[in-house]
Amino acid sequence: MQSTRLAKLLEFLQSDPNDPFVLYALATEYNTSNDTEKALEYYLKLITDHPDYVGTYYHLGKLYQKIGQAEQALDIYQKGMTAARNKRDMHAFSELQGAYNSAAGLDYEDD
């Protein structure tokens, strides 16, 4: 089933190679199937070509954390917070800030 979904997304990409939703869906699909290299390729393309596609930053940051690249994750979360603030998307900003705080070791519990 997953390969069918991937094939369909690749067809959509051929029809419109610059569609940010298709690029995001492909990145997510590759990430889900643990193809880190391909997931990074599509997430990075989104960051470069569609820096205002705010959802990318959270997932790219999490992927960087997963592969042990904490500094890149922090950088991506910061860029995402800027993008979210510029779009006035405070929900995304809050999620990115929470991910940043957690990755930076700033999340703490009240005693």
Q: Return the domain boundaries, the chain.
A: 2-103
Average pLDDT across the chain, whole number: 93
Residue 106: the pLDDT is 87
Span 38-53, pLDDT tens digits? 999 999 999 999 999 9
Q: What is the DSSP secondary-structure string of 6-73?
A: HHHHHHHHHH-TT-HHHHHHHHHHHHHTT-HHHHHHHHHHHHHH-TT-THHHHHHHHHHHHTT-HHHH
- What kind of architecture, by CATH, is found in domain 2-103? Alpha Horseshoe (1.25)
- Which helix (H) or strand (E) segment holds residue 106: the answer is none
Q: What pLDDT digit, counting tens, does each position of 21-37 carry?
A: 999 999 999 999 999 99
